[in-house]
Amino acid sequence: MALTIAAVCSVGVFVCYFSVIAFLFTLIVRDLATRASVLPVTAYVFIALTIASFTHTWFYMFNFMAWSFHDYESTAVPAVDATSLQRLSQWLLNTSLFEQAWAGVCFGRFNWWWSQQLCLFTVGPWTIFLASEGPRFQVKRVWAYMLLGQLVAISVASNLFYLALVLSPQSLPTRINPHAPLRLWLPVLISFLTVGISPFTNEQTFLPNLLLMHTLIVVPLVSSSPPNRGGGIFTLRRLYAIVCISALILHLRASNIAGFSTNFRTIPTTAEHLWTTLHSHPAQSSIGWDVIWTTISCLLWTAISVGPQTVASMLLDVGLGSIGFAAMFTFPQPEEATPDERKQE
C-alpha cells in the first residue's frame, strides 16, 4: 500500500517540527558560544537546569506521542500489510497532536490549575522580560527563545535565556521610566484574555483561542529595539504590575474552581489530587513538570540576580499566586521618573 500525498505531508510536518527545534537550538547555542570565552560558575547552573528540564519534560512528551499512537491504533483498523511508516503516517494524518495534548491539560479543574500557571507566566512577565532585557543585554534573536519555549518547554528556553544574560559582558544603561510600546502591551493583554477564557472554550473555539495565544506573544519579540522613555500608555513597570496582578486573580480563580480551601485540614487531600493529576497523563506530566522547572529556574535566577535574601519571600508569592505573580518581584522593575525628569521628557 503506497503512501498518499496527504500521508506524506503529515510525516513531513512531523519531521519539520523536529527540524525547526534543531534549527532554533542551533541559533541560540551559536549566539551563546560567542558571548563569553570563560564560563562563570552561574553559567554551569543554568546549563545543568537546561539539560535537566529538557530531559525530564521530553521524557513525558515522548511518552505522550507513544500513548497517542497506541490510542489511535486501538480504534483504527490498519491494513494487514501496512508497514511501520504507513501506520505512522496514518496516525499523524488523523491525529492533531497539538490540540490533543493541550485539550488534555486544559480541561479538568486540577489539570487547568497546573497548566494555567505556565500560560500566565509565559504570556505576561516572561514576554515582557524577553522584550525588555533581550535588547538591553544585546541578546540576538530573542524571538527564537519564545518559539523554542513553545515547541519544547518554557523551562528549557528560560534557562537558555538566563544563560545568555549571565554570559553578557555588559548591558546597555537602563532607561528611566521606559514605556511599553503598542507592539508589546497590546499582544500581552489580549493574550491574557485568551488565557482567562481558555477553560470556558468548546470544541469550536478551543483551538483558535489557543493558536491566538501562542501567536500574539511572538509579535513583540520580532523587533530588537528596547522600550522607549516616552510615548506610551503604560510604563514598563506598570505593565509588569498589571499582568502579574491579573495572574494572581486568575490563579486564585483557578484555585477556587479546583476546590481549594483555607481549611488546613484539606491541604493533604488537595495535594494528593494535584500530585495524582500531575501524573494522570503524559501530556499533563510534561507541562506540569515544565511549570515546576520554570519556577525552580526563576527562583535561582532571583537568587543570582537580585540576591538570596529575596528567595524566601518569592516562595510565599509562588504559593499565593504562582510564578506568574511572583515574577513581578523578580524581574527588573525600571524606576519611575522623578518630577524633574518628567519635565525633561
Grid cell for residue 296? 525552580
List, in sequence order, every residue forming a beta bridge with 300; answer none if it has no partner.
Answer: none
pLDDT of residue 38: 82
Q: How many domains does the chain have?
A: 1
Which tops the pLDDT comparison, 150 or 169? 150
Is residue 123 over pLDDT 80? yes
Mean model confidence pLDDT for the chain: 88
- Residue matched to cell numbers 525628569: 341
List, in sequence order, every residue forming a beta bridge with 228; answer none if it has no partner.
Answer: 179
pLDDT of residue 171: 62
pLDDT tens track for 286-329: 999 999 999 999 999 999 988 888 888 889 999 889 999 998 87
- Rounded Cα distance, 231 and 345, in Å: 10
pLDDT tens track for 15-51: 999 999 999 999 999 999 998 778 999 999 999 999 9
pLDDT of residue 62: 97
pLDDT of residue 336: 47
Q: Is residue 21 part of a domain?
A: yes
Q: How many CB atoms lie within 10 A of CB 319?
A: 10
Q: Is residue 84 part of a domain?
A: no
pLDDT of residue 176: 59
Identify the sign of the CA torsion 138, 302, 278, 257.
negative
- Residue matched to cell numbers 503512501: 3
Grid cell for residue 83? 508497514
Which tops the pLDDT comparison, 174 or 342? 174
The pLDDT confidence band at residue 79, using thresholds 50, 70 and 90, is: low
Q: Is residue 2 part of a domain?
A: no
Q: What share of the chain is helix, strand, coil (3-state, %, to 5)?
A: 75, 0, 25
Residues 6 or more apart in contact with residue 292 via CB below 8 angstroms:
none
- Residue matched to cell numbers 500489510: 81
Is residue 271 over pLDDT 50? yes
pLDDT of residue 35: 84
List, in sequence order, every residue forming a beta bridge with 179; answer none if it has no partner.
Answer: 228, 235
Coil, helix or strand for 159?
A: helix
Q: How many CB atoms lie within 10 A of CB 284?
A: 23
Domain that holds residue 159: 8-74+96-336
Coil, helix or strand for 176?
A: coil
The pLDDT confidence band at residue 337, using thresholds 50, 70 and 90, is: very low
Which tops the pLDDT comparison, 213 or 227? 213
pLDDT of residue 341: 42
Is residue 196 over pLDDT 70? yes
The pLDDT confidence band at residue 106, using thresholds 50, 70 and 90, is: very high
The pLDDT confidence band at residue 203, using thresholds 50, 70 and 90, is: confident
| Cβ-contact 154, 118 below 8 angstroms | yes
Residue 45: in which H helix or E strand, if any? helix 41-75
Q: Is residue 89 part of a domain?
A: no
Q: Burial code of 139-176, b = ≥16 C-beta within 10 A, e = fewer?
A: bebbbbbbbbbbebbbbbbbbbbbbbbbbeeeeeeebb
Q: Is residue 85 part of a domain?
A: no
77 DSSP assignment: -
pLDDT of residue 80: 65
Grid cell for residue 72? 489511535
Is residue 250 over pLDDT 50? yes
Query: φ, ψ for residue 235 (rounded to 5)?
Result: -75, 160
